[in-house]
């Protein structure tokens, strides 16, 4: 992973690729989370030993279902589905041309605005996390480099799923853990690997900011969170 999909932590892919290249290994990086939020240059990554990387259109405002696998020309792939000859012989089936075109436009727009957007989202992230700290939340991985749009936090003794449901009723779409594993009731494996105790990990909630968010919405979110957490703490005290 170039950037973790829960914590937003940016991994040192260059160092990892350098270590892998010394063994003769092929190296692929999932860059989906960072796409449109951080500058990505495959030529630089490739020079460091990254042979392939994956992008997904919807992370930069493009259509869902359109993605790209960017390859070093030296990498030879075997097709998963034989026949048809599409995708340079790698996959059969009719391509979703409309989604691919939309993905291309989204990529152009993302490249043009990534520097400005990153600065603006970083300011909103700081405002959000200042408010979270004021409410007594624990924000995970604050001490390392992260994506400018991702904040992952928990309140002691408050269940994450419960908090997500309450905030949803207030009009805020947040998630407990990773969206791609939301059906799993177990505490986040990412937080467990980081040494976070299960009692805290079960309370984890992720906020992802987008290009359309504003500082006023951050203030509204913190207010709704203050009220909601206060009510849940009151229920916890009674029980």
- 87 burial level (CB within 10 Å; 0-12, 13-18, 19+): middle
As a whole number of angstroms, the distance between CA 148 and CA 209 comes to: 8
**Measured CA distances, 219 to 117, 124, 131, 226, 234 (Å):** 19, 10, 8, 11, 23
Token pair belonging to 156? 């002691």
Give alpha helix (H) positions in 74-214: 86-89, 97-134, 160-169, 189-193, 198-201
Whole-angstrom Cα distance, residue 84 to residue 53? Answer: 25
Query: Catalytic site residue 180?
Result: yes
Task: Please work out, in degrees rounded to the nearest 5, the angle formed at the alpha carbon of residue 179 by the alpha carbons of 56 and 34.
Answer: 40
Tell me which of 82, 111, 180, 197 is the catalytic residue: 180
Catalytic residue positions?
A: 180
């Amino acid at each position: 992973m170039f950037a973790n999909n829960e914590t937003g932590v940016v991994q040192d892919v260059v160092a990892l690729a350098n270590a892998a290249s010394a063994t003769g290994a092929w190296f692929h990086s999932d860059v989906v989370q960072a796409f449109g939020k951080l500058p990505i240059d495959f030529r630089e990554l490739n020079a460091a030993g990254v042979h392939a990387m994956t992008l997904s259109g919807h992370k930069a405002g493009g259509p869902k279902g359109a993605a790209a696998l960017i390859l070093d020309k030296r990498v030879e792939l075997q097709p998963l589905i034989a026949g048809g000859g599409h995708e340079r012989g790698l996959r059969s089936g009719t391509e979703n041309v409309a989604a691919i075109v939309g993905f291309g436009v989204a990529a152009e727009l993302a490249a043009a605005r990534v520097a400005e957007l990153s600065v603006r989202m970083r300011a909103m992230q700081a405002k959000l996390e200042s408010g979270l700290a004021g409410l007594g939340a624990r924000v995970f991985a604050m001490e390392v480099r992260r994506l400018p749009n991702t904040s992952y936090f928990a309140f002691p003794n408050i269940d994450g799923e419960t908090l997500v449901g309450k905030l949803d009723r207030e009009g805020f779409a947040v998630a407990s853990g990773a969206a791609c594993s939301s059906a799993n009731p177990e505490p986040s494996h990412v937080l467990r690997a980081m040494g976070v105790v299960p009692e805290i990990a079960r309370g984890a909630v992720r906020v992802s900011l987008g290009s359309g968010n504003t500082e006023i919405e951050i203030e509204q979110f913190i207010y709704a969170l203050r009220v909601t957490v206060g009510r849940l703490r009151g229920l916890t005290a009674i029980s």
